[in-house]
Structure 1
Amino acid sequence: MIKLSDSLSIQITIHKYGSHAQPPKTPQSSKKAATTNPLKLLPISLKTSKSQNHSSKDSHDPQNLLNQTIIHLKSASLPLTAVTLPFFLHPVAAGGQFGILEGRSFALVHPIVMSGLFLYTLYAGYLGWQWRRVRTIQDEINELKKQVKPVAVTPDGTPPAEPPKLSPVEAKIQQLTEERKELIKGSYRDKHFNAGSILLGFGVFESVFGGLNTWFRTGKLFPGPHLFAGAAITVLWAAAAALVPPMQKGSETARNLHIALNALNVILFIWQIPTGIDIVFKVFEFTKWP
């Protein structure tokens, strides 16, 4: 049974707060709300300053700046391509089907590269000759040693007190020995091998590119001294490189043939220069930039 005092207190509470009102919160519940929602207790100005500081940090973040830059570049790439594409596809030569491939820029690539390859051929030949000297000097030293007279000794078999002066043959042996040591330090064998590999790769590529460029510009090839000499030079490069395996096995015949083929290559290169200059003049006459 409910006591009269209890029912009276309930009625007083309902009358004070209303039928739908909640009873007042205890201090413990208010403390809990304050701890769970600390931002609700902060002033509005403090919240705003924190959000502004956060946005300013994002604006100075390098990763964020990089992402924004990439987005801007992506948006600008399409109009930039639309502007530059007609320039590259514009017909600049007689035919015009291949655009810039028929222009003067691509036509001058071949003579410029081949001029560099000619000088590089001479450099590769110098390296090969120096490596050959390493081998031939040793043969000379061995032959000179056979001419050295034995050192005179006393009757009891001991050498003389004062060493004899060097003979001209011994002085030559000493000179060649020092020269060979210096050549070995130069690592001419590896340098010559690397130079030959580069010359073979770039030479064959540029020879084919020269013929293709002529066809791009004119629609045909022109059989003549320059074309035939260029084809012969390309074949000589390949033939000289094919002799490397027997040369590494010590074949003197392969070495001599390697030298002969490369010497013929240089002669053809020199003979081809005047015809190449004539072609360059025609390029300037019949083509336009780029």
Structure 2
Amino acid sequence: MAATATLGLVNLLPKRNGNRSSGLKPFPNPRPPCLPRLPSAPRPHLPSPALPLLSDAPSILPAAAAVAFSLPLFFHPQDALALDGEFGILEGRTFALVHPVVMGGLFFYTLWAGYLGWQWRRVRTIQNEINELKQAAPAAPMTIAAGSDAEASPPASPTPAEAKIQQLTEERKALLKGSYRERHYNAGSILLGFGVLEAVGGCLNTWIRTGQLFPGPHLFGGAGITALWALAASLVPAMQKGNDAARNLHIALNTLNVLLFVSQIPTGIDIVFKVFEFTNWP
């Protein structure tokens, strides 16, 4: 019965007429009317941006260099920070290498200051040698023949003592022209100022990078060098008054300072290797 109802519904649907020649014509495809073409206005010519002239190159180079230097910081900002980034670039490798470079230069400057001081000491001691030789060598008497027309005999050849005195006198004159006293004083002042400043700066840099200090030979040796600088400088007023004990102690303290400086070289090189291992540029 359901099939009969379904067939009845199918018969009610309109049937498709397969004859194309029926009276129904297809709807024509409307074509839009052709509109008249309006004349186009001439397009204004926009000037292209001028290229920088060669004369502007000097002003462009600093900016380009600054951009090239800062690009690594933008791409890898973590490389500029060694520990936690609290102090920024102060934790980087550049500032960590300031201490070994400056202290290496101060080591050679210490040797130069010692040479200047030794030359000034030579100026003082050479005068004492001249005075001792003059006291030990008696003056040679001049023999004059009797008579109204007597003339002095030709001067005899100088004795070994007189020749030595003449040699030391010429040497002292040459040393005085070198101004070793002023140069040694200036070198010592520069060494004291920059040495103490960089000794403290090295400890601060270690703390900034690692958050702590490392007690050991390098730290204790650096503290000893700084103390010896201060002790040697404190003897200058007594040395200026001619105190030989202060002068000798000054030389002894600075000699010990140089020995401590030499002992700092191996431990300092090890620390530099660790800086390259655990830090990044800049």
TM-score above 0.5: yes
Aligned to 1:106: 95
**In the aligned structure 1, how far is the partner of 2:246 from the partner of 2:202?**
31
**In the aligned structure 2, how far is the partner of 1:120 from the partner of 1:104?**
25
Q: List structure 1 segments (4+ residues) > 6 angstroms apart after TM superposition.
A: 155-159
Match for 1:102: what amino acid?
Answer: E
* TM superposition shift of 1:154: 2.4
Residues 1:260 and 2:249 aligned together: no
Q: Of the candidates 146, 154, 168, which is equivalent to residue 135 of structure 2?
A: 146
Match for 2:125: what amino acid?
Answer: T
Q: Of the candidates 150, 155, 169, which is equivalent to residue 161 of structure 2?
A: 169
Task: Show CA shifts across 1:20-43 (max 9, x none).
Answer: xxxxxxxxxxxxxxxxxxxxxxxx
Aligned to 1:213: 205
Residues 1:125 and 2:117 aligned together: no
SS at 2:136 equivalent: coil
Aligned to 1:282: 274
SS at 2:168 equivalent: helix
In the superposition, relative to structure 1, how do residues 155 and 221 fare at CA in structure 2: closer, same or farther (>3 Å)? Answer: same
* TM superposition shift of 1:149: 2.7
Gaps of 5+ in 1: 1-68, 70-75
Give the structure-1-normalised TM-score: 0.68
Gaps of 5+ in 2: 1-58
* TM superposition shift of 1:160: 4.5
Identity of aligned residues (%): 69
Give the structure-2-normalised TM-score: 0.70
Q: Tell whether the 8 Å contact from 2:126 to 2:168 is kept in structure 1 after alignment.
A: yes
Instruction: Pick which of 180-189 and 93-102 moved more.
Output: 93-102
* TM superposition shift of 1:99: 1.4
SS at 1:95 equivalent: coil
CA RMSD of aligned residues (A): 2.3
SS at 1:146 equivalent: helix
**In the aligned structure 2, how far is the partner of 1:95 from the partner of 1:279?**
20
**In the aligned structure 2, how far is the partner of 1:159 from the partner of 1:181?**
35
Q: Tell whether the 8 Å contact from 2:143 to 2:153 is kept in structure 1 after alignment.
A: no
Structure showing greater relative contact order (alpha-carbon pairs closer than 8 Å, 6 or more residues apart): 2
Q: Of the candidates 192, 196, 202, which is equivalent to residue 188 of structure 2?
A: 196
Q: How many pairs does the alignment contain?
A: 211
Query: Whose Rg is larger?
Result: 2
